[in-house]
């Protein structure tokens, strides 16, 4: 069963953001706080470590730490990049907080 | 286990789809209660109930005082339920009981009473606008503040009870209805507060509380057309989305979001206090406080000592179950929050910060489970690190060294946030200097986490928009309405309407406000001391100019003033300027003057007028160039005119040169009219013949223009016409025989009447053109007016025919059998004849104006505001240029 759901076009969006900045084609799923109370799931350009759970979609490596996977389960990634803001909404099988799916976050590079 | 229901339209109800969720104690993971989980249908019902209650007026249309009485009851009910609220809050949100037991009184009941009382006694619900700042039109204007309508309050999980108090309290006090969505992990205290509202009889629908998932309810709460305002406290990511969604229906939004506040410890701080205060600033409520001072900036000189002591202090913090009164720090709110905090600790280590204590979850003895985390300290942190830039929202502090105060400010400001912050120092002035420079919503000096009902709270930058609490926070819950009542129910009440949409540009309304008392006649100068007394003065500054000192005129006045005169300012040039007014004001301030007596022509009188208003209103003359702004009378002013021309002794105007701008500036204020004018003919007898002619032609121009502007009226017409007759009959006599007292007094009366006439009806193009050459080429004002007048009369002949024909009559022209137009033109001819007779100059070239300068003059004159009042609309500078050429 796959850990990540990501459409081919959204995958292309992520890859083009990374390549525009000369970064390797790999992103980490992380917990990120944007202030006051609820932290949320986000993506960051990174290189995988040995212990990470890794999934590769069309040449894009997506990974997370096993404990995080244990807490959130499968993650679907959707781009809301219609205004060129490089923003994505991440929704997990086990919601990280009550606002899941409401707001988008930037791909941290 | 208790079950809590939604509170909608005054009733506790289950969710329409029957959904229920459980809420847990983060101190031991035990379930506390089941709670109805609102869905979209419930949110819709709550919004509509709030709307109905708002529109019905059961709450929104109560007087603030009546609402306050209910809020006091509400507050008392909260006090009654203190223990239940405190224990529930502690169990639900993990707050230590030592804090939660003071919350209902300190942050709820007391705040309700404070702000409700303020709203009923002090809040400016209605404010008269005394000066509208519209130079052209009149009316009454006032501001009304009204409730906004339906306010949504979205509450975070760190201080669910305090936030519910804030959002319900402020909204209700200001007459709104609310829909509150508490955080899903901490829904209980808001529902108990709803119970309190019901018990005290807050009308149905005014308070609604709907716990539910933000992801599901956020959309409807932020986009529903019946919602007028959203007040959100929570993450920046969600806040940003709320702001975007609210923009669809342009809702008012206040956001209180994240922070990464800097607590600055200066090298002169009391070390023990600095340690305790910084630890409290960070570890209070396990760091789950948005304005926490999670970046401690420590001056290098004391850095090592501080870090050592702070580590020990952090390690001594007693972690425990939140209901035990011995506990210093309770649990985090949830497992997710523990994982978030721990994730950041790993990031900090990876970034190279030095973890000196903590950095791991903690198990509390005797408790199974629970979400506890050790007080954590990172030293050697760089401000660029993620642990110094991102809000961790847990008991994790980053300590950063700095060298100078400037560097501390720079580091503090190097953040996307600006919510709180502090300075610890034994030098308050130094601490305040720093506090003023940090771009943040609150700075505490030698303190932290200190709140009060009357202290505004909110953020700079990405920490939010708007403020909570205080008068500022209450304002956020109101709309501002301006109500204007025209003073004249007529089109002429609106200059713009007449100027733009009507072919007849004349304004039919008129206001006569000529408050100056006039003492006239031989020897009237003697009345000056009594007038000073009547005006309550005892320290008079006499203002005059060098010519009048030389002519011995100023001395006469000084003698009459006797001991009242505490100083003489005589350094006033012809066509006064800002600098002169400032110098005179400075002298008046030094002498503690309470009355001004001016003795001179227009230049002196205008300087004195400007000094009077500047003395009263503060600042320098340039601060007091105003047109209809004054709401209080300036310092008392008595005028003794020595030329018979400007009429400034009774007018509302002062004309002051602004050399930098290259223009004459006008102060035009009804309150600028002097209190008393003393027309003693002896004061004008020393005026040389040529100047007598020149200043009288200024008065003549006032009279003719006042008679013909777009704002003429029968009363000022009467004054103007009689002034014209008096000038025509007396000027030649006074020029021939300066000592002829009857002629002098009649000219003085004419000048005053012409001044009154133009105060009511304004002046027009001849003045605009005269001001211009006065400003640019120093042509004396009276001569400039006289030179322009006949040509401008001819320019206006088809737009003011009747009035100009009347002028001809006053000038003694035999108009019998003449058509009106010819009579009007004859008036212009007659004025030129008079000017020749009295030796008045007729051409601009006589004053050294260069011909090539006329084009620029025409542009300048076109922009002079008085040209707007000309009877013939001035369409282009070319028309003015043509007139300038005629008078060249
Ligand atoms: N505020 C108003 O309503 C208003 C109206 C028209 C003009 N003004 C302004 O007034 C100024 C012109 O005033 P003004 O025409 O009265 O001239 P002025 O005040 O500039 O005086 C001109 C000269 O005449 C001398 N003088 C005045 N009275 C004298 C006397 N009795 N004996 C001997 N010398 C005497 C003065 O010493 C001065 O040197 C201009 O700046 C003009 O813009 C103001």
| Interface-testing mutation among B218, B220, B237, B415, with chain A (most A C-beta atoms within 10 A) | B237
Residue of chain A whose alpha carbon sits nearest to that of B215: A99
Alpha helices in B147-255 (DSSP H): 160-173, 188-200, 214-223, 236-247
* C-alpha pair distances (Å), B256 with each of B290, B318, B398, B441: 9, 30, 23, 11
Please list the residues that pair with B397 across neighbouring strands.
B377
The phi and psi torsions of B459 (rounded to 5 degrees) equal -125, 160
10 Å CB burial of residue B539 (0-12, 13-18, 19+) is middle
Task: Quickly list DSSP for chain A.
Answer: --SEEE-HHHHHHHHHHHHHTT--SEEEEEEEE-SSS-EEEEEEE----TTSEEEEETTEEEEE-HHHHHHH-SEEEEE-TTSS--EEEEEESS-SSTTTTTS-EEEE-
Three-class secondary structure assignment of B512-580? CCCCCEEEECCCHHHHHHHHHHHCCCCCEEEECCHHHHHCCHHHHHHHHHHHHEEEEECCCCCCCEHHH
Give the separation between CA B79 and CA B97, rounded to whole angstroms. 16
Distance from CA of A49 to the nearest CA of B (A): 13
Give the separation between CA B574 and CA B586, rounded to whole angstroms. 20
Between β-strands A4-6 and A75-79, what pairing exists: parallel, antiparallel or unpaired?
parallel
Whole-prediction pTM value? 0.90
B854-B857-B862-B868 Cα dihedral, nearest 10 degrees: -110
Contact B340 A31 (CB under 8 A): yes
Residue B156's closest CA among B129, B181, B119?
B181
Catalytic residue among B290, B599, B621, B785: B290
Q: Residue B654 CA: which ligand 1 atom is closest? A: 1
Task: Determine the pLDDT at residue B853.
Answer: 96
- The pLDDT tens digits of the residues spanning B520-540 come to 999 999 999 999 999 999 999
Contact A96 B336 (CB under 8 A): yes
Residue B400's closest CA among B299, B311, B313?
B299
Q: CB within 6 Å of ligand 1 — which residues?
A: B 545, 547-548, 551, 553, 574-575, 600-604, 606, 642-643, 645-648, 651, 653-655, 683-684, 686-687, 691, 695, 698, 781-782
Active site includes B256? yes
Distance from CA of B259 to the nearest CA of A (A): 6
Distance from CA of B338 to the nearest CA of A (A): 11
pLDDT at A1 over 90: no
Rounded to the nearest angstrom, the gap between the alpha carbon of residue A54 and the centroid of all alpha carbons in its chain is 12
Mean pLDDT of the region A60-79: 95
Ligand 1 centroid–CA B393 distance in Å is 73
Q: Residue B651 CA: which ligand 1 atom is closest? A: 3
Chain B (103-162) residues lying within 8 Å, Cβ to Cβ, of chain A: 156-158
Of A30, A35, A67, Cβ closest to residue B257: A35
b/e per residue B434-467 (b: at least 16 CB within 10 A): bbebbebbbbbbbebbeeebeebbbbbbbbbbbb
Residue B704's closest CA among B779, B810, B783?
B810
Structure tokens at B360: 């791991």
Residue B265's closest CA among B441, B135, B445, B484?
B445
The parent domain of residue A9 ranges over 4-106
* A30 in B contact zone (CB under 8 Å): yes
DSSP state of B468: B
Strand locations in B767-815 (E):
none
Of A33, A38, A96, Cβ closest to residue B392: A33
Task: Determine the pLDDT at residue A83.
Answer: 58
Catalytic residue among B89, B151, B256, B531: B256
CB < 8 Å to A99, chain B: 213-215, 218, 234-235, 238
* B463 in A contact zone (CB under 8 Å): yes
Ligand 1 centroid–CA B93 distance in Å is 79
Give the separation between CA B215 and CA B212, rounded to whole angstroms. 9
Probe target for ligand 1 pocket from B556, B577, B598, B602, with the most ligand atoms within 8 Å of CB = B602
Give the separation between CA A8 and CA B671, rounded to whole angstroms. 75
Give the separation between CA B401 and CA B91, rounded to whole angstroms. 38
* B336 in A contact zone (CB under 8 Å): yes
The number of folded domains in chain A is 1
Instruction: Give the DSSP H or E segment for B803.
Output: helix B801-810
Structure tokens at B365: 């003895």
Classify B782 as helix, strand or coil: helix
Please list the residues that pair with A108 across neighbouring strands.
A44
Task: Quickly list DSSP for B236-302.
Answer: HHHHHHHHHHHHTTT-EEEEE-----EEEE-TTS-HHHHHHHHHHHHHGGGG--TT---EEEEEHHH
Residue B703's closest CA among B823, B848, B807, B565?
B807
CATH, residue A16: 2.60.300.12
Active site includes B305? no
Task: Determine the pLDDT at residue B738.
Answer: 97
Give the separation between CA B595 and CA B612, rounded to whole angstroms. 8
C-beta of residue B239 within 8 angstroms of C-beta of residue B417? no
B150-B156-B159-B163 Cα dihedral, nearest 10 degrees: -10
* B682: number of Cβ within 10 Å: 17
Residues with pLDDT less than 50, chain B = none
Classify B630 as helix, strand or coil: coil
pLDDT at A81 over 80: no
């Amino acid at each position: 069963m796959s850990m990540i759901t990501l459409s081919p076009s959204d995958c292309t969006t992520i890859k083009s953001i990374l390549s525009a900045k000369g970064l390797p084609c790999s992103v980490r799923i992380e917990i990120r706080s944007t202030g006051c109370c609820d932290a949320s799931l986000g993506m960051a350009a990174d290189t995988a470590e040995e212990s990470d759970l890794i999934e590769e979609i069309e040449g894009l490596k997506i990974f997370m730490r096993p404990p995080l996977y244990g807490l959130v389960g499968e993650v679907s990634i959707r781009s809301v990049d219609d205004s060129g803001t490089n923003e994505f909404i991440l929704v997990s099988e086990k919601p990280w907080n009550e606002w899941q799916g409401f707001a988008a976050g930037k791909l941290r590079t | 286990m208790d079950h809590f229901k939604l509170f909608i339209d005054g009733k506790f109800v289950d969710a329409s789809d029957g959904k229920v969720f459980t809420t847990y104690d983060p101190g031991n993971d035990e379930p506390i209660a089941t709670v109805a989980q609102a869905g979209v249908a419930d949110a819709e019902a709550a919004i509509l109930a709030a709307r109905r209650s708002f529109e019905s007026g059961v709450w929104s249309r109560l007087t603030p005082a009546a609402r306050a009485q209910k809020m006091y009851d509400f507050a008392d009910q909260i006090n009654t339920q203190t223990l239940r609220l405190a224990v529930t809050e502690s169990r639900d949100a993990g707050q230590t009981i030592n804090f939660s037991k003071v919350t209902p009184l300190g942050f709820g009941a007391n705040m309700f009473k404070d702000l409700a009382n303020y709203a009923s006694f002090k809040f400016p619900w209605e404010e008269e606008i005394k000066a509208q700042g519209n130079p052209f039109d009149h009316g009454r204007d006032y501001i009304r503040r009204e409730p906004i309508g339906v306010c949504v309050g979205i509450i975070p999980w760190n201080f669910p009870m305090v936030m519910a108090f804030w959002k319900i309290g402020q909204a209700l006090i200001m007459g709104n209805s609310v829909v509150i969505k508490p955080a899903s992990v901490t829904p209980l205290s808001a529902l108990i507060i709803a119970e309190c509202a019901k018990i005290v009889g807050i009308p149905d629908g005014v308070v609604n509380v709907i716990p539910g998932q933000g992801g599901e309810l956020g959309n409807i709460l932020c986009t529903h057309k019946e919602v007028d305002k959203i007040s959100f406290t929570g993450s920046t990511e969600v806040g940003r989305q709320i702001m975007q969604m609210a923009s669809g229906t342009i809702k008012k939004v206040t956001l209180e979001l994240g922070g990464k506040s800097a607590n600055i410890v200066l090298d002169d701080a009391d070390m023990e206090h600095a340690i305790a205060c910084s630890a409290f600033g960070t570890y209070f409520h396990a760091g789950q406080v948005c304005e926490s001072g999670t970046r401690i900036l420590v001056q290098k000189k004391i850095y090592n000592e501080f870090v050592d002591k702070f580590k020990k202090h952090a390690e001594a913090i007693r972690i425990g179950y939140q209901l035990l009164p011995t506990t210093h720090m309770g649990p985090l709110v949830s497992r997710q929050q523990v994982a978030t905090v721990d994730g950041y600790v790993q990031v900090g280590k990876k970034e190279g910060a030095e973890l000196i204590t903590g950095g791991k979850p903690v198990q509390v003895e005797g408790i199974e489970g629970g979400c506890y985390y050790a007080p954590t300290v990172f030293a050697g942190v760089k401000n660029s690190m993620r642990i110094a830039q991102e809000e961790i929202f847990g008991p994790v502090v980053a300590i950063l060294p700095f060298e100078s105060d400037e560097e501390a400010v720079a580091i503090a400001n190097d953040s996307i946030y600006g919510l709180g912050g502090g300075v610890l120092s034994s030098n308050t002035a130094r601490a305040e200097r720093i506090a003023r420079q940090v771009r943040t919503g609150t700075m505490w000096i030698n303190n932290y986490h200190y709140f009060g009902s009357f202290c505004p709270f909110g953020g700079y930058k990405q920490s939010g928009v708007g403020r909570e609490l205080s008068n500022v926070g209450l304002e956020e819950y109101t709309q501002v309405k301006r109500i204007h009542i025209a003073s004249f129910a007529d089109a002429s009440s609106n200059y713009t309407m007449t100027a733009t949409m009507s072919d007849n540009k004349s304004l039919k309304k008129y206001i006569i406000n000529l408050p100056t008392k006039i003492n006239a006649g031989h020897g009237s100068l003697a009345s000056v001391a009594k007038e000073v007394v009547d005006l309550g003065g005892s320290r008079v500054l006499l203002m005059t100019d060098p010519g009048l000192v030389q002519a011995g005129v100023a001395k006469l006045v000084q003698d009459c003033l006797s001991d009242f005169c505490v100083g003489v300012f005589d350094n006033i040039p012809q066509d006064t300027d800002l600098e002169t007014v400032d110098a005179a004001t400075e002298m008046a301030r030094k002498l503690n003057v309470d009355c001004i007596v001016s003795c001179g022509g227009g230049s002196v009188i205008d300087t004195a007028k400007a000094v009077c208003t500047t003395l009263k209103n503060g600042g320098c003359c340039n601060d007091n160039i105003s047109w209809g702004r004054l709401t209080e009378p300036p310092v008392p002013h008595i005028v003794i005119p020595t030329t018979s021309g400007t009429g400034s002794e009774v007018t509302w105007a002062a004309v002051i040169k602004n050399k930098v701008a290259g223009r004459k500036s006008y102060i035009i204020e009804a309150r600028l009219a002097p209190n008393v004018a003393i027309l003693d003919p002896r004061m004008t007898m020393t005026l040389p013949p040529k100047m007598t002619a020149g200043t009288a032609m200024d008065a003549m121009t006032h009279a003719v223009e006042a008679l013909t502007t777009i704002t003429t009226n029968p009363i000022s017409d009467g004054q103007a016409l009689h002034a014209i007759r008096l000038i025509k009959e007396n000027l030649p006599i006074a020029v021939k025989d300066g000592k002829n007292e009857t002629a002098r007094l009649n000219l003085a009366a004419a000048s005053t009447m012409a001044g009154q006439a133009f105060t009511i009806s304004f002046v027009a193009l001849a003045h605009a053109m005269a001001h211009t050459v006065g400003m640019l080429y120093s042509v004396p004002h009276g001569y400039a007016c006289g030179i322009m007048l006949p040509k401008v009369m001819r320019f206006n002949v088809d737009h003011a025919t009747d009035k100009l024909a009347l002028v001809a009559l006053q000038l003694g022209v035999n108009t019998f059998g003449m058509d009106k137009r010819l009579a009007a033109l004859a008036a212009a001819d007659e004025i030129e004849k008079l000017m020749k007779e009295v030796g008045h100059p007729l051409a601009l070239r006589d004053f050294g104006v260069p011909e090539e300068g006329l084009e620029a003059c025409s542009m300048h004159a076109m922009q002079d505001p008085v040209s707007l009042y000309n009877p013939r609309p001035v369409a282009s500078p070319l028309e003015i240029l043509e007139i300038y050429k005629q008078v060249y």
